[in-house]
Amino acid sequence: MDINGWSRRKYLFAAGSSVSALSGCSERIDAATENDPSRDENSPNREPYQLQPGTYNTIVIFRNDDPQPGFRSEALRKVEEIFIDTAVPLTSGVIPMLPDNKLTAESEFCGALRRRDRRVPELFEYSLHGQTHQTKTNFYGGSEFGGRSFEHQRQDISRGASQLTDCIGRRPSTFVPPLNTYDETTVQALLTEDIDVVSGGKWFTDQYYEPQPLPFEADGALHVPGTHDIVADWQTVEFVPLEELKTEFDEANRLFVCMLHYHHFTDEERLRYLEKLVSYVADHDDAGCMTLGTFGDAYLSGDLTWSDNSWDYAPNSEQEES
């Protein structure tokens, strides 16, 4: 297929900047230029991120839950910088409406997300992470949505989507349910907001639906559950040993959806852990990194197909063939 002379990774600084080609999901960028204080924060300094057409053993999605105003914003900035420096996409599930802290377009939090989003187009996706992130039912151990009426779920999703749209400046197209649980009524409610990609937890979908190859389509949506988690123990917030998680990535086939929570990255040791993990994944040529939304779009449109134990990514293939 003609890829119009695209560079290997098609994620480059704007003209005039040097690029060093590495293997894996990404191009490295020039950190010195990126951190230049004279640079205009509002103007993009790279072409939009796009996965190179080709064949991949594994698609990788990093899912960062819980960004919210007024809570460890420095940790969020540092986590996002790791993904900028490695040029690996990151999908963040943003909480739109904490009980005493709603997202507003004018807030410092939303301004910072929009600035980073503009600087590195298509690298970040901001997904809808529930509405208030409160546990409202006992559904599968606790849920904000599962087990509630359609009308209540629809109302909360609609309000949350509006808040997030005001904050980011575009509508969310994917949903990350708090506590990783949801039901078929949640999916019906999401579809009324044109959200047709949902990422809960694999432990949950294995029970509520059934264990099956990922992703899977059910109830009119694409389900892309988190398959791995950086946290090993939620009592102590101890991380999975890095070498163990690398081995799990090496052994992953098809999908590696790695969950993290930015607010755990409050010291240099943990930030270095994340940097090493993301760099390790990025350096694998057979892994393709995408956001949840671009993965969902590509899968549902047929641009990304799974056969013979590998992914074939051929974006816009229909137009090129016609």
Q: Considering beta carbons, is residue 58 or 291 the nearer one to Zn ion? A: 291
Smallest distance from Zn ion to CB 129, Å:
6
Q: Considering beta carbons, is residue 128 or 252 the nearer one to Zn ion? A: 128
Q: Considering beta carbons, is residue 24 or 178 the nearer one to Zn ion? A: 178
Q: Which tokens in the block code for residue 197?
A: 């990609």
Smallest distance from Zn ion to CB 178, Å:
5
**Cis peptide before 69, with omega less than 30 degrees from 0?**
no
Smallest distance from Zn ion to CB 133, Å:
6
Sequence-ordered list of residues with C-beta below 8 angstroms from that of 136, at least 6 positions apart, any chain? 143, 144, 145, 148
Smallest distance from Zn ion to CB 73, Å:
16
Q: Which of residues 163-192 bind Zn ion (CB under 5 A)?
A: 178
Nearest to Zn ion by Cβ — which residue?
Answer: 65
Q: Which of residues 57-86 bind Zn ion (CB under 5 A)?
A: 65-66
Q: DSSP secondary structure string, 238-307?
A: EEPPHHHHHHHHHH--EEEEEEEEGGG--SHHHHHHHHHHHHHHHT-TTEEE--HHHHHHHHHHTSEEEE
> Look-up: residue for tokens 């940097």?
275
Q: Considering beta carbons, is residue 135 or 310 the nearer one to Zn ion? A: 135
Q: Considering beta carbons, is residue 53 or 178 the nearer one to Zn ion? A: 178
Smallest distance from Zn ion to CB 130, Å:
7
SS3 of the chain: helix, strand, coil, percent, to 5: 35, 20, 45
DSSP code of 230?
A: S
Sequence-ordered list of residues with C-beta below 8 angstroms from that of 212, at least 6 positions apart, any chain? none
Is residue 225 within the footprint of Zn ion (CB under 5 A)?
no
Q: Tell me how many residues contact Zn ion (CB under 5 A).
A: 3
Q: Where does this chain bind Zn ion (CB under 5 A)?
A: 65-66, 178
